[in-house]
Amino acid sequence: MGASFAVGYLMFLLKGAVWTVGLSLIALSCGGVLAFIVALCRIAPNRWLRLVTALYIQIIQGTPVLVIIFLTYFGLPSLGWSVSPLLAASLSLSVYVSAYLGESWRSSLQSVPRAQWEAAECLALSRAQRMMKVVLPQAIRIATPPTVGFMVQIIKNTSLASIVGFIELVRAGQIVNNTIFQPFLIYLLIAVLYFAMCYPLSILSRRLEVSAGEKAYA
Amino acid sequence: MRSGSDTPSQDIVVSLKGVHKSFGSNQVLRGVDLDVSRGEVVAIIGKSGSGKSTALRCIDYLESIDQGTIRVCDHQVHKPDVDLRALRLDIGIVFQSYNLFPHLTIEQNVMLAPTAVKKLARPAARQLAHRVLGQVGLLEKANQFPERLSGGQQQRAAIARSLAMEPKIMLFDEVTSALDPQLTGEVLRVIEDLANKGMTMIMVTHEMNFARKIADTIVFMHEGKVWEKGGAHILNSPGTPELREFLQHEL
Amino acid sequence: MGSLNFSIVFDRWDMILQGIYLTIRLTLLATAGGFVLGTFCAIGKRGKTVWIKKLCSAYIEAIRNTPLLVQIFLVYFGLSSLGLSLHAITVSIIALTINVGAYSAEIMRAGFDSIEKGQLEAAETLGLSRRQVYWHVILKQAMERVYPALTSQFVLLMLASSICSQISAEELTAVANFIQSDTYRPFETYIVAGAFYILLSFLLRIVFWVLGLMLFQRRRNLQAFI
């Protein structure tokens, strides 16, 4: 009896882990699109656009993710929109990603040596063409290591979705705990599963940073 | 030769015998033999890669050796159980890049070791610091941070810092190589002053004229060995073709 | 959909202030503890004893690759299974200290590694012991070099303290949860909470900036005037 129960619980946890990955991907893709817009706005010629975007980033970066999630999950319904846990978590995390990645990607765009921008100008490319063909490819290379590193942050922050009832890994563990009452063991197992997801990404990010540093001197 | 000094005694204070040292596959020292007497001033010359800095660093155990023996006073430096602290109390070393501590004033730089290692009380340490700073001509800069001093002044401060520990032997590792030519004079004067006071010194240097002036012994190193050794006269009439070639390049 | 009513939230200003006070207390205590823990860990990682190096590395990787929420629950349930029943704030401080310690360790290690080898050799040849070299030469310089990174880390810590609401520590987020359930004004409540966090981030950065001036710059700036 014990073994099959244990396997059942483990499968439930793993299913939660799958949703952790799923929510992370949603946050990464939606947040990523927003982040790209944010990054472009931060270096736009229009001064107001730059300021408003900078303000947006400061506000989001100065607020705990949990408060953003609560604001979305509890606050929006009080204004008339109904919000499911998944929607609240997705929206909040996307906003969170847009601010942090947006700032990081802006920095990457600006790290592309000035000479590259100028060379593209001299070749009579339009602003859009300069961006697409010359600056962006190099910016992407610069941005890859920190973005991979940030994916670890996204995965960890999905744990907060459990608080508003979304059934990812932590919530799954809490549900299992309601049956077997071994909280320490369960959270330990949850920690191991998070580690298994995050550690490879951390290592990858570090490797990318080292090789990016080496290429810079090539 | 130095002016107005006693001849060095026969008491050998630094002795290297058959010293070998490799960095990976690169054999830098291939059997160095050198004896230095108390009060003797030795200038080590040679082209880069000849192993002169490495040999100097081995004396103060900044590098470990693969083969051979090094004796400093009564310390057996090549042995694994050598008392490093006691060894370093007897040796003062000054580096090419001064290595002053940027977050401390000159006075604090000089006082650090006497207070921390010799447990001197602060007032006594300050007095000592002022004495050695006066000796190198930097007393008025005592409360400045290193970044505000010129290269020559920083190097003199580094010398003062080593002197404050009252070492028996001073090692100088190309101490003027990083300096603008007009700043080397002030540093060389301090070193000459030390030599005249009878300090045992080993200096790795490119300053041939200075070596000729103050060194008792010139040591020419080539391919990791002591290639030629003698008084200042060997700079005028070199005995080996390698030294002759080296001197021609230097001029 | 009625109009927004912020005054009903501000009526509870005494609770809000209590929450802010606890948030600040959590942050400052965990900052101090985490910094010390992280510094020792960074020193351990650079030492010669292999098992200490491995232990520090394992600690750092474990913390950095697991969520704070899980860490807080582990500390909470771990301590209670040992028979200790500590106040929620105390448990929070312990968990936050352990968390920020790992991040501080990496930051300090980068600072230590940035000290030029020549300075370490000079200190060694003057006769200073390893502990003396750390204290007199390495520590203060390293801190100054990584100070911006440390500041950012501690501001992040303050934001992360909101998670302690989940073990009933009555900091600002927990207070907001209570107020919103009491006033049925979640939108206004969390906007106000967010605004206070933004304000606290700003204030915390200023405090660290002034602290930095006092620790590092004062004597040098004074030099310029003398």
pLDDT digits (tens, 9 = 90+) for B169-207: 999 999 998 888 888 999 999 999 999 999 999 999 988
pLDDT given for residue C187 in this prediction: 92
Burial class of residue A193 in the structure, from the number of CB atoms within 10 Å of its CB (0-12 exposed, 13-18 middle, 19+ buried): buried
Which residues on neighbouring strands pair with residue B247, listed in sequence order?
none
Choose among B206, B139, B210: nearest CA to B179. B206
A41 to chain C, closest Cα gap in Å: 22
C222 pLDDT band, cuts 50/70/90, is: low
Q: Are C109 and C45 in contact (CB under 8 A)?
A: yes
pLDDT score for C4: 79
pLDDT number for residue C226? 47
Q: Does pLDDT of C219 surpass 70? A: no
Q: What is the pLDDT of residues C110-123, one digit of tens each?
A: 999 999 999 999 99
pLDDT at A125 over 90: no
Apex CA A18: angle with CA A17 and CA A22, to 5°?
115
* Residues A131-138, mean pLDDT to the nearest whole number: 80
Per the structure, the count of domains in chain A is 1
ipTM for this model = 0.90
Comparing CB atoms, the residue among B85, B103, B162 nearest residue C140 is B103
Of the candidates C77, C162, C187, the beta carbon closest to that of A75 is on C187
Q: Tell me the mean pLDDT in the region C136-160.
A: 94
Average pLDDT, chain B: 90
Q: Name the least confident of A14-23, A111-120, C78-87.
A: A111-120
Q: Is the pLDDT of residue C54 over 60?
A: yes
Of C65, C166, C173, the CB nearest to A195: C65
> Is C17 in the B-facing interface, judged by CB distances under 8 Å?
no
| pLDDT at position A7 | 86
Q: What is the CATH number of the domain that holds A162?
A: 1.10.3720.10
CATH class of B12-250: alpha beta
Is residue B143 within 8 Å of B106, Cβ to Cβ?
yes
Identify the band that residue C60 occupies on the pLDDT scale cut at 50, 70 and 90. Answer: very high
Is residue A28 within 8 angstroms of chain C, CB to CB? no
Average pLDDT, chain C: 92
* pLDDT > 70 fraction of chain B, expressed in percent and rounded: 96
Judged against a pLDDT cut of 90, whether residue A127 lies above it is answered with no
C124 touching B (Cβ < 8 Å): yes
C126/B162 CB distance under 8 A: yes
- Checking if the pLDDT of C35 tops 70, the result is yes
Q: In which band, very low, low, confident or very high, does the pLDDT at B1 lie, cut at 50, 70 and 90? A: very low
- Cβ <8 Å between B101 and C223: no
C-beta atoms of C64 and A202 within 8 A? yes
CA atoms of C110 and C96, how far apart (whole Å): 22
Task: Kindly report the number of other CB atoms within 10 A of residue B196's CB atom.
Answer: 14
Q: Averaged over B62-83, what is the pLDDT?
A: 90
A70 in Cβ contact with A164 (< 8 Å):
yes
> What's residue A1's pLDDT?
42
**Mean pLDDT across B98-113:** 94
In A, which residues are within 8 Å of C68 by CB distance? 156
Cα dihedral: A145, A150, A156, A159 (round 10):
-140
Interface size, chain B vs chain C, as Cβ–Cβ contacts under 8 Å: 60
For residue B164, give the chain C residue with the closest CA: C126
Positive/negative CA dihedral, A201, A207, A210, A213: negative
Q: Please check the confidence at residue C45 and state whether its pLDDT lies above 50.
A: yes
What pLDDT, in 10s, does the model give residues A60-76? 999 999 999 999 999 99
- Could you say which of A62, A75, A79 has the minimum Cβ distance to residue C198? A62
Find out if CATH 1.10.3720.10 is the number for domain C7-225.
yes
Helices C88-113, C139-160: crossing angle, 10 deg rounding: 140
Domain boundaries, chain B: 12-250
Quote the pLDDT of residue A5: 60
* pLDDT of C218 higher than 60: no
Q: Is the pLDDT of residue C1 over 50?
A: no
Residues with Cβ within 8 Å of A204's Cβ and at least 6 positions away in sequence, in order, are A148
Cross-chain Cβ contact C73/A187 below 8 Å: yes
Q: Assess whether chains A and C touch, using the rule of 3 or more C-beta pairs within 8 angstroms.
A: yes
- Return the residue of C nearest to B112 by Cα: C136
Asked if the model's pLDDT at residue B238 lies above 80, the reply is yes
Give the residue, A126 or A195, on which the prediction is more confident.
A195
Q: Name every chain A residue with its beta carbon within 8 A of the beta carbon of C176.
A: 67, 70
Contacts of B60 in chain C (CB under 8 A): 125
Q: 């004796």: which residue's tokens? A: B71
Flag whether B touches A (3+ CB pairs, 8 A cutoff): no
Of C62, C80, C81, nearest to C71 (Cα)? C62
Nearest to A184 among C69, C81, C202 (CB): C81
Say which residue, C125 or B232, is predicted with more confidence.
C125
Query: Mean pLDDT over residues A25-43, rounded?
Result: 95
CB C172 within 8 A of CB C159: no
